[in-house]
Amino acid sequence: MARKYFGTDGIRGKIGRYPMTPDFVLKLGWAAGKVLASNGHPLVVIGKDTRISGYMLESALQAGLVAAGVNIRLLGPMPTPAVAYLTRAFRASAGIVISASHNPYDDNGLKFFSSTGTKLPDTVEEEIEAWLEKDFKTVSSAELGKVERAKDAAGRYIEFCKRALPTDVSLKGLRIVVDCANGATYHVAPDVFSELGAEVIAIANEPDGLNINDKCGATHVEELRDAVQRYRADVGVALDGDGDRLIMVDQRRSIVDGDEILAIIAHHRHQECGLQGGVVGTLMSNLGLEKSIRALDVPFYRANVGDRYVIEQMNLHNCPLGGESSGHIIVRDHITTGDGIIAALQVLRAMHDSGKPLHELKKVMSKYPQTLINVPTRQKIKLDESAPIQEAVHQVEQQLGDRGRVLLRASGTEPLIRVMVEGEDATETAALAEDIASAVRAAA
């Protein structure tokens, strides 16, 4: 069954435009509640990021859930991975996050977690959508759900994060700049690192409902780079609006992206206790990451873009680590979803154990130059059936051999064909990508 509302990361859109309207979210809460309420009075935990629209959507969502007979525990502003953890900690039937992640403040969305802290199965999302087509009917007064605010949700999550480091590992002596993106980690991330012994300088930690992800956080690291230099910090940590992404900055102001972070954690794990199962990246993960992992004699798997698909491959191959270039890093023996704070702690532990600064650690991976060209199309092209395109790809792959790779895929949201070529030489890579792009333009 094709889903009408749920995408790969829940439901998302512009506030005031369907479906991000109070009436739809009210009905969505009711529909989700009807699916969950088949087992009596279930408990649902709700967290949100710092967008001004979160209050409105939270009120509508809880009204719908209560009308379906569901009990609610409100967590307040809380990172997405914290909601995944607290769903399990409170033995809740489900968890819901009101957030649009790294998007601007005037977007918002809803993401659902199952009782195990994982994304809802497709079948459950389809069942919720089926209830959305039915008439809204409130349960009797005696069956209405109740709402209460969770006590010390932030403190619970802080302690959970701290347990990601052994008790004999301290961050004392490290000066860390933490960019909270004016988002959901503003009141937890600085405390995690400082309580573990680090000297913390927090920036973008004063949310006003409108400044989430605004020239800050994991998608805009210039301010963090400047702060690392200004405060002579050892490392910079950039989280996004809902705390599930991580980008780091070393003491030389260089950016350390998700591929490099994943490589650092994998190499540290391998040296510490071996790395069983392998590592999962995506189709867009840099070839340097794949070669770095395979050099450990450890399998490397590629998933479709999206943390949902990364987690699917991790489960399929029983991999402890997975992630995306954008900074979604899943450390499966600690958390069921991407968690920027947990991932940062793994890198900081590698720095502690090795005695090496971040700019030395990231040398475990040599990043290949990558050229990406978006080719607009007037019509849908079946890439595997176009002889000229396939011939152009074949010629480039022959020229690159094992020195690079080619990725050709249609955008899922725009009339575009994305042409990506990686290789050892940036000039050659750019020229070869243009050769394929020209063949695509001729066919489009």
Give me the active site residues, please.
101
β-bridge mates for residue 97, sequence order = 47, 111
Work out the number of other CB atoms within 10 angstroms of the CB of residue 211: 17
The answer to whether the CB of 410 falls within 8 A of the CB of 418 is yes
Alpha carbon distance 257, 242 (integer Å): 18
Work out the number of other CB atoms within 10 angstroms of the CB of residue 276: 11
Tokens of 185: 């980690």
Tell me how far CA of residue 48 lies from CA of 6, 42, 250, 342, 430, in angstroms.
18, 20, 30, 19, 42
Helix (H) or strand (E) holding 443: helix 426-443
CA angle, 185 then 6 then 189, to 5° = 5
Beta strand residue intervals within 353-404, DSSP E = 370-376
What's the distance, Cα to Cα, between the start and end of the chain in Å?
Answer: 31
Tokens of 205: 């930690």
β-bridge mates for residue 76, sequence order = 47
Q: Residue 172, exposed/middle/buried by CB under 10 A (0-12, 13-18, 19+)?
A: exposed
Q: Which residues contact 17 (CB under 8 A, 6 or more apart)?
A: none
Alpha carbon distance 180, 184 (integer Å): 8
Alpha carbon distance 416, 108 (integer Å): 25
Report how far Cα 270 is from the mean position of its chain's Cα atoms: 24
Alpha carbon distance 319, 329 (integer Å): 13
Tell me how far CA of residue 347 lies from CA of 155, 246, 282, 412, in angstroms.
23, 11, 20, 33
Instruction: Using the structure block, give the residue that is written with the tokens 């350390």.
Output: 256
